[in-house]
Structure 1
Amino acid sequence: MGGTVVLLSLVASHSDIDLETVAKISADASQVASVVLASASPIAGAITLATCNRYEIYCEVPQFEDVPAARSEVITHISASTGLSEATISTALVSKTETDVIEHLFTVGAGLDSAVIGEREIAGQVRRALNEAQTAGTATGSLVRLFQSASRTAKDVGSRTSLGSRGLSVVSVALDLATDLSSESDWGTKKIVIFGTGAYAGATMSLLRERAAHNVSVFSSSGRAEAFVASRGGSPLDEETLEAALETADVIIGCSGSDHRLMAADIAVLDRGARPLIAIDLALTNDFDPEIGTLESVELINLESVRMAAPEEQSQSLREARSIVLDAAHSFAAEQRERAADAAIVALRRHTQAVLEAEVQKVRAQHGCTAAAEEVEFAMRRMMRQLLHVPTVRARELAAEGRAGDYIEALQTLYGLEVEVPVAPSVKRKESCPATEAPAKAVRQAG
């Protein structure tokens, strides 16, 4: 390999486009990582991160020349899985490479690019994305290290800034909105129905317990409600018992993102009288028909509502958090560059050691185990160490400058050596990180 491999991420998030477009891109795109690896694309590894307001895919490619082909391959497969045109997907996806990939993921994992700044669910989603990719066999060593470092950075932001102490999340802000809209603020008196049994449903159940809610029922179109409530509490619902639960519900919460959408007509035909209903839709692809919000006595809270209601964090806390993220990104890239240097140094030393041992064997064969032979061997080993000193120092110097690829290419040209190295991006340090500064450079490319 002539140089260091490259990180590429393709990002569609609420920061750049509307949530409806993000939802369309996310639909049925979870298998894209496996599909592109099975194709003839240059992509060596991939991890997909899909949340309530973003769809991102992180890829490893051999060199910068492969980035356009890799991007095109991902767009083609997302188009095939979603039915959207390649032009639509290409316009929606923002491409990031090298250091921008690192800074972006670390920023996302720390909750600094979320609708609710500092939200805590995203860190868990980053961990799950890595676990799923490892299980599916799509994660390379470089991507594993990247995601693990992002998780550690998120913990640091949570423990070292006030963002972590707030405990804010998409779910908590949605529940706060529901409290404001309700005539009764006591969650212990409310009858609640949750749709879904995934991570957001689990986070919702946990926060409801904190608010002393105890009359909670769970519906899953896939039949997992009973297993879900067995470990978290609540009552399971099925198709037969759902209607009766909806007739007496005060709050319904959508967390599934499944094809089982609750329509406005389903609510309209219920025998609810004038009983008010608050519908909280946290699913990116909408568990509830948006028309539900037009029904009498029904208040609809969706992700856009949450984004608009999310409190603004203090600029000092944001500056501290962004500083932690940028320092972590710098450290990660530096470590990766050192790994690139180490791989090159090891390859050179193995080569020279093999040459040395061959010559030592010739001396022993000619002179035997004599004092003269030992002196010659000692002199040869000492000379080899001296000869390797300057190339070793230069390897580390070039790696620190982000030029490990130049060193590796020189080894290939001079000695015909093949060096397998991890990603080793360069880092562009920022002099300051004000709260209003974008966390990472992004370039939107046409397809």
Structure 2
Amino acid sequence: MIGHTVVLLSLVASHSDIDLETVAKISADASQVASVVLASASPVAGAITLATCNRYEIYCEVPQSEDVAAARSEVISQIAASTGLSQDVISTALVSKTETEVIEHLFSVGAGLDSAVIGEREIAGQVRRALNEAQAAGTATGSLVRLFQAASRTAKDVGSRTSLGSRGLSVVSVALELATDLSRDPDWSTKNVVIFGTGAYAGATLSLLRERAAHHVSVFSASGRAEAFVAKRGGTALDESTLEAALEQADVIIGCSGSDHRLMAADIAALERGTRPLVAIDLALTHDFDPELGALEGVDLINLESVRMAAPEEQAQSLRQARSIVLDASEAFAAEQRERAADAAIVALRKHTQQVLETEVEKVRAQHGCTAAAEEVEFAMRRMMRQLLHVPTVRARELAAAGRAGDYIEALQTLYGLEVESPSAPSVKNDSRCPVTGSAADDAAPAPAAEARTPDLVQLSRAV
């Protein structure tokens, strides 16, 4: 089989296209879809899932364009099986993107340009975590790793080269601003706050509460992780026996867990709160709080839809600059992907010519021995081979840049009967050389260009 540049496919359900309730339904129990799809007979070679408070996206690598339809069908089938929704509902909700669309979309997402709060900070960390989790699960291929690492670098470029997000806006910060506006007393130092959850959003929430001088913060986790969470970040851990008392004294409750344990309106109505007002902030896509909570007297409910409507618009100039950075980075990454197909073809051609050359050199050595004449003939043959390979190498680069690497590869097979190996890197599954070390590893600078190339290409370039 002739090798081609791998095809990138993404299936996207986000707040930009559908309502958050549908996104939440698709996200439910779909975290293991990537592993299940890879274990099936589908053509998907690798997959990374990006699930946040307002999106569910799965990024796949497939061997060739002819496999895209089958890959999409398998992903939809597995999401339907895990969520209980019909395949028609899933298919309608998920927007498919391929090739350069995938690259530009992920880069935009990572830079916060596709968020409910434009320029938000949390999404870049979520992109890094999605990659880490896929690496740990063994579902990330080399192409997908490069894609997500490039998205993280682009997000950093947008942050450092534009004023986008310089105010530190995020879903959490906008929600807290709304809570401040709704509260009778804007002083957070006097408020009793209860956080539900111990994940990334809970951590970001606690940090922002500290910035607002909130001193009375309690944390509840249905899974029993509150003690470990507050040990690292501060606050008071709650359990089932102390939660009710904390809720009776709470001024603000914040849901960040997205667990199956939902706080119902009846639970709050049954508390002995008197006339004490309550602001409930529900940041969980699947709702930590009953939507009917907002109908109770003295209770104001803030949800993700409220945050999206209240999020301020960034300056047009900053947005244009950020989008330009994303577009340039997307085009550069796409060009690099195309060049990888040329690298594989050049490696195959040089391997072939190297084998022919060595055969002829051995004949010269056998006939003339290690004489000066034999060395001169060998030198001349190697110089001639370098000259003969120059034009085919240049043409490979030119055709790859034009997206026509497949034509070049087919010509090699027709002329020489060569089989060109796929340029995609192997999965990092069970690879001790690729440990998952957290965000520090994701933030590392890209490898030098020479090291990023196929090793055989570098070696053959020196040998021929």
Same fold? TM cut 0.5: yes
Q: How do residues 1-400 of structure 1 correspond to structure 2 at under 5 angstroms?
A: 1-400=2-401
Indicate conservation of the 8 Å contact 1:261/1:287, yes or no: yes
Aligned partners of 1:36 and 1:415: how far apart in 2? 37
Shift of 1:348: 1.2
> After superposition, what is the alpha-carbon deviation per residue over 1:301-357, rounded to whole angstroms, capped at 9, x for unaligned?
000000000001111110011001001111111222222222221221112111110
Aligned partners of 1:372 and 1:151: how far apart in 2? 57
Question: Secondary structure at the residue paired with 1:48?
Answer: strand
Shift of 1:421: 4.1
Give the direction of change, closer, same or farther, for the CA distance of 1:345–1:139 in structure 2 (3 Å limit): same
Task: Work out the percentage of aligned pairs sharing the same amino acid.
Answer: 88
Letter in 1 for 2:155: A
Q: Which moved more, 1:262-271 or 1:362-371?
A: 362-371
Aligned partners of 1:34 and 1:409: how far apart in 2? 33
Give the direction of change, closer, same or farther, for the CA distance of 1:80–1:276 in structure 2 (3 Å limit): same
Question: Secondary structure at the residue paired with 1:358?
Answer: helix
> After superposition, what is the alpha-carbon deviation per residue over 1:216-235, rounded to whole angstroms, capped at 9, x for unaligned?
00000000000000010000
Indicate conservation of the 8 Å contact 1:255/1:283, yes or no: yes
Indicate conservation of the 8 Å contact 1:278/1:300, yes or no: yes
Aligned partners of 2:268 and 2:225: how far apart in 1? 23
Letter in 2 for 1:163: L
Question: Secondary structure at the residue paired with 2:59?
Answer: strand
Aligned partners of 2:57 and 2:274: how far apart in 1? 44
Letter in 2 for 1:246: L
Indicate conservation of the 8 Å contact 2:5/2:340, yes or no: no
Question: Secondary structure at the residue paired with 2:16?
Answer: coil
Aligned partners of 1:337 and 1:423: how far apart in 2? 11
Please, what TM-score do these two structures have when normalized by structure 1? Answer: 0.93
Aligned partners of 2:298 and 2:419: how far apart in 1? 70
Indicate conservation of the 8 Å contact 2:220/2:239, yes or no: yes
Q: Which moved more, 1:412-421 or 1:282-291?
A: 412-421
Shift of 1:423: 6.4
Shift of 1:2: 3.3
Question: Secondary structure at the residue paired with 1:164?
Answer: coil
Indicate conservation of the 8 Å contact 2:116/2:171, yes or no: yes
Aligned partners of 1:422 and 1:152: how far apart in 2? 23
Aligned partners of 1:417 and 1:265: how far apart in 2? 71
Letter in 2 for 1:375: E
Aligned partners of 1:217 and 1:74: how far apart in 2? 40
Shift of 1:367: 1.8
Letter in 2 for 1:310: A
Question: Secondary structure at the residue paired with 2:58?
Answer: strand
Residue number in structure 2 paired with 1:417? 418
Question: Secondary structure at the residue paired with 1:165?
Answer: coil
Residue number in structure 2 paired with 1:435? none
Shift of 1:359: 1.1
Indicate conservation of the 8 Å contact 2:116/2:311, yes or no: yes
Please, what TM-score do these two structures have when normalized by structure 2? Answer: 0.90
Alignment RMSD: 1.2
Aligned partners of 2:376 and 2:424: how far apart in 1? 43
Question: Secondary structure at the residue paired with 1:323?
Answer: helix
Aligned partners of 2:351 and 2:12: how far apart in 1? 41
Aligned partners of 1:247 and 1:67: how far apart in 2? 54
Runs of 5+ unmatched residues, structure 2 = 426-464
Aligned partners of 2:139 and 2:191: how far apart in 1? 44
Indicate conservation of the 8 Å contact 1:142/1:422, yes or no: no
Shift of 1:381: 1.2
Shift of 1:4: 1.3
> After superposition, what is the alpha-carbon deviation per residue over 1:112-169, rounded to whole angstroms, capped at 9, x for unaligned?
0000000000000000000000000000000000000100111111111111311100
Indicate conservation of the 8 Å contact 1:12/1:56, yes or no: yes
Question: Secondary structure at the residue paired with 1:34?
Answer: helix
Shift of 1:9: 0.3
Q: Which moved more, 1:131-140 or 1:344-353?
A: 344-353
Aligned partners of 2:44 and 2:412: how far apart in 1? 25
Q: Which moved more, 1:340-349 or 1:298-307?
A: 340-349
Aligned partners of 1:112 and 1:261: how far apart in 2? 31
Indicate conservation of the 8 Å contact 1:3/1:406, yes or no: no
Aligned partners of 2:239 and 2:421: how far apart in 1? 54
Indicate conservation of the 8 Å contact 2:108/2:326, yes or no: yes
Question: Secondary structure at the residue paired with 1:245?
Answer: helix
Residue number in structure 1 paired with 2:457? none
Indicate conservation of the 8 Å contact 2:3/2:421, yes or no: no
Aligned partners of 2:423 and 2:216: how far apart in 1? 52
Shift of 1:412: 2.6
Indicate conservation of the 8 Å contact 1:157/1:324, yes or no: yes
Indicate conservation of the 8 Å contact 1:337/1:423, yes or no: no
Letter in 1 for 2:190: T
Question: Secondary structure at the residue paired with 1:162?
Answer: coil
Shift of 1:374: 2.0
Aligned partners of 2:412 and 2:195: how far apart in 1? 60
Question: Secondary structure at the residue paired with 2:324?
Answer: helix
Shift of 1:384: 1.0
Shift of 1:408: 1.8
Shift of 1:388: 0.6
> After superposition, what is the alpha-carbon deviation per residue over 1:5-32, rounded to whole angstroms, capped at 9, x for unaligned?
1000000000000000000000000000
